[in-house]
Amino acid sequence: MITTNPPSQTDIKEYPRISYTDCYITVRPSLTGTAAELAEDLYGQLIPILKEKQIQVIQEKVHGNVEAREAFDMGRQRALGNSGLDCYLPYTYLEGRSLGPQEVTSIQIWGVRSHDGAATVRTDDSEISPARVLEGEGFQLVYCPRIHGFDESNPGDKGCVTRQCEMVFDRIEEAMSRYDLTLHDVARTWFYSRRLLDWYGEFNCIRTKHFKEAGIYATGKDPVFPASTGIQGRFSDEEIFVDVLGLGKGGSENAFRMEQVVTTSRQHQAFGYGSAFSRAMAVCHEGFRAVYVSGTASINTRGESTYIGNAEMQALDTLLNIAALLGDQGGGLADVCTGTVYCKNREAYAAYRSVLQKLRIADMPLVCVEADVCRHELLIEIELVAVIKE
């Protein structure tokens, strides 16, 4: 295996807007140990930053082995509670298995620091779809983590992927409707499936059906498919769950504005080969565009997988695809502030690290985990957010 210097333990990116400053933080373990010890280590790095910068958390995502989840959650509650922070904020714990010796890979935070009270973040509790809501004068953003389709009152649902997938989309619509939003207002989705490769085709059919029923089609410019990732991942025993980002108050001059990226110079429409998502969604607000890049892999303009069996070339091709997309938006890889690299195995991870080293690409604040990608022959998929000044 090719080894390189690991990324630094803490990455912080900040983008000052008018009403608030966007803050993206990635922390990685500085030691090995049990899940509880790793929680203490990671939140020991994170909590002083949250307090010093007065960050209101919108999104919190933890990558780790699912067996470590309960112990990590207990450690998280102790660390946040002892520091005076809210230990009950909804968050996503996701397996992506660790590619290192630790059971837990990272914590990724996206939050805001308000300017003179111009932006607030609150939690709206719900048993199925709790939300973190960012609001200010004329704008609203709704983030719902870990909406699942499992009906715990009906044990027969366990393992029924079709019913759970249908339920997930129903619950997305229910969650958005609490804010007078619909599927049209969803900018980004992250779908995690325990057995992705077993039924990815069926998932695509169900997703397309729900979008069509909502009046979202592959043709035309408005409404549009959200940016999306469909990847292997699990929280517990559910077959599928989703994190959702929706945008509100569209009639205001200071509302968030969505601009879809359907094609690039290196990749054409994903729905051309049956996947109902945009290549990216640019969310524009107060002088910046946050470009939510969908899960991207080594796929050409005809929708074909390329460089089959060659992980290093797939890694290179994927990075070139993302660089081309960001270039069209007036940015580049230097603007990346958070994201995830999904590697099918450790050899694919080594290939990705080798490409970065050979091309002398500086380490980006991306977390690398082990997970199946949507096609058997694809070895690497990358999703990320890049923030570009307008």
pLDDT tens track for 230-283: 999 998 888 999 999 999 987 889 999 999 999 899 998 888 888 889 999 999
Q: What band does 217 get if pLDDT is binned at 50, 70 and 90? A: confident
Q: Is residue 32 pLDDT above 50, yes or no?
A: yes
Tokens 């690497």 label which residue?
380
Q: Is residue 6 pLDDT above 80, yes or no?
A: no
Residue 223 pLDDT: 60
**Mean pLDDT to the nearest integer, 142-170:** 85
As a whole-number percent, the residues of the chain with pLDDT over 70 amount to: 95
Q: What are phi and psi of 368, to 5 degrees?
A: -105, 130
Token digits of residue 107: 């914590």
Strand partners, 246: 142, 186
Residue 198 near residue 159 (C-beta atoms within 8 A): no
Q: Is residue 221 pLDDT above 70, yes or no?
A: no
Q: What band does 5 get if pLDDT is binned at 50, 70 and 90? A: very low
List C-alpha distances in Å: 308 to 146, 366, 375, 383: 33, 24, 11, 20
List C-alpha distances in Å: 112 to 12, 19, 22, 352: 12, 10, 5, 31
Q: What band does 1 get if pLDDT is binned at 50, 70 and 90? A: very low
Amino acid at 36: A
Q: Is residue 160 pLDDT above 90, yes or no?
A: no
280-284 long-range Cβ contacts below 8 angstroms, 24+ apart: 280/227, 280/325, 280/329, 281/187, 281/188, 281/224, 281/226, 281/227, 282/258, 282/329, 283/187, 283/247, 283/256, 283/257, 283/258, 284/256, 284/257, 284/258, 284/259, 284/390
User: What's the mean pLDDT when you consider all of the chain?
Assistant: 92
Locate the domains of the chain by residue range.
10-389
Q: Is residue 155 pLDDT above 70, yes or no?
A: no
Q: Is residue 31 pLDDT above 90, yes or no?
A: no
Amino acid at 235: F
3-state secondary structure of 288: strand
DSSP E strand boundaries for the chain: 10-16, 20-27, 56-64, 92-94, 97-98, 104-114, 119-124, 131-136, 139-148, 186-193, 227-232, 240-248, 257-261, 280-285, 288-296, 336-343, 366-370, 380-389
Token digits of residue 51: 């307090």
Other Cβ atoms closer than 10 A to 32: 12
CATH dotted code for 10-389: 3.30.1330.40
